[in-house]
């Protein structure tokens, strides 16, 4: 069965890098440009892994995560951010509230994206 | 004008007083007469006498008794006395007189010349006595004032009306580095840095004509004062004129306060503000830059993957990737520097300084070998373990070592020493090199963000700045000494209580 990945990032370059990095893998990658659209997607179909940008106009990464967790508490969610200083409190609170997520720092190289994704979805020990 | 001296003459007989007055007309003194002891005492209350001439034989209070009363009073205790005695000239009376502190005797009838001679001598003595007293008083006042001047920590200069230094205190000498003899007589203007504009220096004559009361602006003016070695020291200068009683300008008193320390603090504050502002800017920039950088890097990697190695474009894409990563490193440095990077959230733990340093050496092994640099480690056993943020400290070592390698690269002697020891509760880490050194004019700026002397593309100008902010965030201090052409030494002091566990083992 094909594993599905959702990338939520307002930056087109980032969405594109994810698509290019995972091109040629067996995964199917969907990308959306906002938290709101991301939640719609999660409601419509099931995903095996979600990458969310932290700082986005409208709904930010933490808020998006909260909504997603209401729909599905178990999908692995990686918050990918360049700078989490201003969200540190929200992130800490989300963690304290039992919201399950991982934090990754941008910039990620293509190799890192591939290794990370494989590691999560295939249990590979490459990363 | 010399004050006229007063002579007291006491005799119960009018004709004697008259005769005395006649004789004493020939000295320059005012004669005060009294016909009995009581009158004489009253007169002594109202006048200052330089001399008293007393008739011994008087009804009621005699001359000796009067003299004794004079001696017992503070005001007349030292009043010189000449006793005139017509009847008694025997030893007994003479003795009694001396006992009362008398100074001389004349037996009647006396020659007026002798009396005059004695009177003149007494007046002269008294005059000298008075002058001496004045000198002593003056000396006391002068000493007192000098002591005040000496004990002042501020620079005090007294200038003549034409602005020449006349008096100077110790604080001024030690600040300015002049021996006393060399600075006296110098125009005060010579001590001021040439570009200083002083409202109270009237331009052409450089005359000091300030009227402090009318011009409160002469208070606490910031200026630079020059030492003997032409070093400019920032000071706050206040000045005020002083006049004689006819309101004629006599000179100016200048008080200057050394404000180097205050200046340094101010600069530090400005620096901190700058760094904070830059930190905020960097934090904001990081998000903006990291996204496109991640994009660029990803696109390049994708193109690389799909370009055959033989294609010349492969090599160019590799260069593009390398440059992109340089930008990424720069952003990362900026984040470390602004304290917003997660690295600074690193937990403190017991780390081994030598291990950290060896890791840095491994990172730089290629350069060290290529340049044939000798690296010497001296780490004292009791200071090797420290409770701190290891990765941050390692970053500091890496920055120092990179600089040191750059500094020695063109030198014949290529040596870098890494020394660690303990000073009380601090661990001292010293990295010194035998490199090109830092020019004195750059010394003030080496910790400034983006200050670099390296060629374009070689340094970001953030290494030392980042290192300093890391060391400070670890509660430490950092300083630098350098001699151009000889080398540079960086010293880091980190708070480092001893590892109790290790210490206990050591105690066993």
Digit-coded pLDDT (tens) for B127-161: 888 899 899 999 998 888 878 877 888 898 888 87
Looking at residue B433, its pLDDT comes to 93
Residue A20 sits at the chain B interface (C-beta within 8 Å): yes
Looking at residue B247, its pLDDT comes to 80
| Angstrom distance (rounded) from CA B99 to CA B83 | 13
Looking at residue B76, its pLDDT comes to 85
- Average pLDDT value for chain B: 81
In order, the DSSP letters of B467-481 are: HHHHHHHTT-EEEEE
The model's confidence at residue B94, banded by pLDDT at 50, 70 and 90, is low
Assess whether pLDDT exceeds 60 at residue B499.
no
Residue B340 sits at the chain A interface (C-beta within 8 Å): yes
Is the backbone of residue B175 left (phi > 0), alpha (psi -120 to 50) or beta?
Answer: alpha
Assess whether pLDDT exceeds 80 at residue A36.
yes
pLDDT in tens, B227-269: 888 888 888 888 777 788 888 878 888 888 898 888 877 777 7
Between positions 145 and 174 of B, the ones with CB within 8 A of A are: none
Domains along the sequence of chain B with CATH: 5-133 (3.40.50.2300), 152-258 (3.30.450.20), 264-343 (1.10.287.130), 346-504 (3.30.565.10)
Looking at residue B78, its pLDDT comes to 82
Looking at residue B475, its pLDDT comes to 85
Looking at residue A66, its pLDDT comes to 92
A4-122 belongs to which CATH class? Answer: alpha beta
pLDDT in tens, B323-368: 898 888 878 777 665 554 444 456 788 888 988 898 888 777 777 8
Looking at residue B459, its pLDDT comes to 65
Residue B335 sits at the chain A interface (C-beta within 8 Å): yes
3-state secondary structure of B415: strand
| Angstrom distance (rounded) from CA B58 to CA B66 | 10
pLDDT in tens, B379-423: 887 778 888 888 788 888 988 998 899 889 888 889 999 999 988
Mean pLDDT of the B263-279 span: 73
Residue of A85, A91, A113, A115 for testing the chain B interface, max B β-carbons within 10 Å: A85
| Angstrom distance (rounded) from CA B282 to CA B289 | 10
Looking at residue B342, its pLDDT comes to 42
Assess whether pLDDT exceeds 50 at residue B216.
no
Q: Tell me: ipTM over 0.90.
A: no
Q: Do B299 and A108 touch (CB under 8 A)?
A: no
CA-based nearest distance A13→chain B, Å: 5
Assess whether pLDDT exceeds 80 at residue B66.
yes
- Considering only A74-88, B326-340, B362-376, which range has the smallest mean pLDDT? B326-340
The residues, any chain, with a CB within 8 Å of residue B374's CB and separated by 6 or more, are B414, B415, B416
Between positions 42 and 81 of A, the ones with CB within 8 A of B are: 55, 81
Task: Using alpha carbons only, give the angle B99, B101, B105 rounded to the nearest 5 degrees.
Answer: 90
Looking at residue B250, its pLDDT comes to 82
Higher pLDDT, B334 or B25: B25
Mean pLDDT of the B365-377 span: 85
| Angstrom distance (rounded) from CA B187 to CA B194 | 13
Assess whether pLDDT exceeds 70 at residue A21.
yes
The model's confidence at residue A124, banded by pLDDT at 50, 70 and 90, is very low
Query: Which of A97, A24, A90 is closest to A63 using CA atoms?
Result: A90
Which chain B residues are within 8 Å of A84, Cβ to Cβ? 342
Looking at residue B505, its pLDDT comes to 45
CA-based nearest distance A51→chain B, Å: 14
Residue of A21, A107, A114 for testing the chain B interface, max B β-carbons within 10 Å: A107
pLDDT in tens, B76-86: 888 888 888 87
CA-based nearest distance A41→chain B, Å: 23
Q: Do A83 and B340 touch (CB under 8 A)?
A: yes
Which chain B residues are within 8 Å of A81, Cβ to Cβ? 287
- Average pLDDT value for chain A: 87
pLDDT in tens, B412-443: 889 999 999 988 888 999 999 999 888 888 88
Residue A105 sits at the chain B interface (C-beta within 8 Å): yes
| Angstrom distance (rounded) from CA B30 to CA B13 | 20
């Amino acid at each position: 069965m094909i594993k599905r990945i959702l990338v939520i990032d307002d930056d087109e370059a980032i969405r594109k890098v994810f698509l290019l990095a995972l091109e040629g893998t067996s995964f199917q990658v969907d990308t959306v440009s906002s938290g709101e659209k991301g939640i719609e997607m999660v409601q419509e179909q099931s995903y095996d892994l979600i990458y969310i940008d932290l700082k986005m106009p409208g709904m930010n990464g933490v808020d998006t995560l909260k909504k997603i967790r209401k729909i599905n508490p178990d999908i692995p969610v990686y918050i990918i951010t360049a700078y989490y200083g201003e969200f540190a409190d929200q992130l800490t609170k989300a963690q304290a509230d039992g919201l399950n997520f991982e934090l990754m720092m941008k910039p990620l190289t293509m190799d890192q994206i591939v290794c990370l994704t494989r590691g999560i979805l295939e249990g590979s020990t490459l990363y | 004008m010399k004050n006229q001296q007063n002579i007291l003459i006491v005799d119960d007989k009018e004709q004697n007083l008259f005769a005395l007055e006649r004789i004493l007309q020939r000295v320059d003194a005012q004669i005060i007469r009294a016909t009995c002891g009581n009158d004489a005492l009253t007169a002594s209350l109202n006048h200052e006498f330089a001399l008293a001439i007393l008739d011994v034989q008087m009804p009621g209070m005699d001359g000796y008794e009067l003299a004794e009363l004079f001696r017992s009073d503070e005001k007349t205790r030292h009043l010189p006395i000449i006793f005139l005695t017509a009847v008694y000239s025997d030893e007994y009376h003479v003795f009694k007189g001396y006992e009362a502190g008398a100074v001389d005797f004349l037996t009647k009838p006396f020659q007026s010349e002798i009396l005059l001679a004695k009177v003149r001598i007494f007046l002269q003595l008294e005059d000298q006595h008075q002058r001496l007293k004045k000198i002593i008083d003056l000396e006391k006042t002068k000493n007192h004032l000098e002591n005040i001047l000496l004990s002042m920590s501020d620079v005090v200069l007294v200038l003549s009306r034409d602005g020449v230094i006349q008096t100077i205190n110790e604080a001024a000498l030690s600040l300015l580095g002049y021996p006393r003899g060399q600075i006296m007589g110098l125009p005060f203007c010579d001590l001021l840095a040439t570009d200083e504009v002083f409202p109270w220096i009237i331009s052409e004559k450089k005359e000091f004509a300030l009227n402090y009361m009318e011009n409160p602006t002469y208070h606490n003016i910031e200026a630079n004062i020059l030492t003997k070695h032409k070093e400019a020291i920032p000071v706050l200068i206040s000045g005020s004129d002083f006049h004689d009683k006819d309101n004629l300008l006599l000179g100016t008193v200048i008080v200057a306060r050394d404000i180097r320390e205050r200046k340094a603090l101010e600069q530090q504050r400005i620096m901190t503000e700058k760094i904070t502002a830059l930190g905020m800017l960097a934090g904001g920039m990081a998000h903006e830059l990291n996204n496109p950088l991640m994009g660029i890097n990803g696109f390049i990697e994708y193109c690389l993957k799909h370009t055959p190695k033989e294609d010349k474009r492969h090599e160019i894409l590799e260069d593009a990737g390398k440059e992109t990563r340089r930008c990424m490193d720069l952003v990362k440095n900026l984040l470390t520097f602004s304290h917003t990077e997660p690295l600074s959230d690193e937990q403190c733990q017991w780390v081994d300084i030598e291990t950290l340093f060896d890791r840095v050496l491994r990172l730089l092994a290629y350069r060290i070998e290529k340049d044939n640099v000798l690296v010497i480690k001296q780490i004292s056993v009791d200071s090797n373990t420290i409770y701190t943020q290891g990765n941050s400290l390692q970053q500091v070592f890496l920055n120092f070592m990179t600089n040191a390698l750059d500094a020695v690269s063109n030198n014949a002697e290529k040596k870098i020493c890494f020394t660690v020891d303990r000073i009380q509760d601090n661990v001292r880490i010293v990295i010194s090199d035998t490199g090109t050194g830092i020019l004195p004019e750059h010394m003030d700026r080496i910790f400034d963000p983006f200050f670099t002397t390296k060629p374009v593309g070689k340094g970001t100008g953030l290494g030392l700045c980042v290192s300093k902010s890391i060391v400070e965030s670890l509660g430490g201090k950092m300083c630098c000494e350098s001699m151009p052409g000889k080398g540079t030494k960086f010293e880091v002091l980190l708070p480092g209580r001893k590892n109790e566990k290790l210490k206990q083992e050591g105690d066993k």
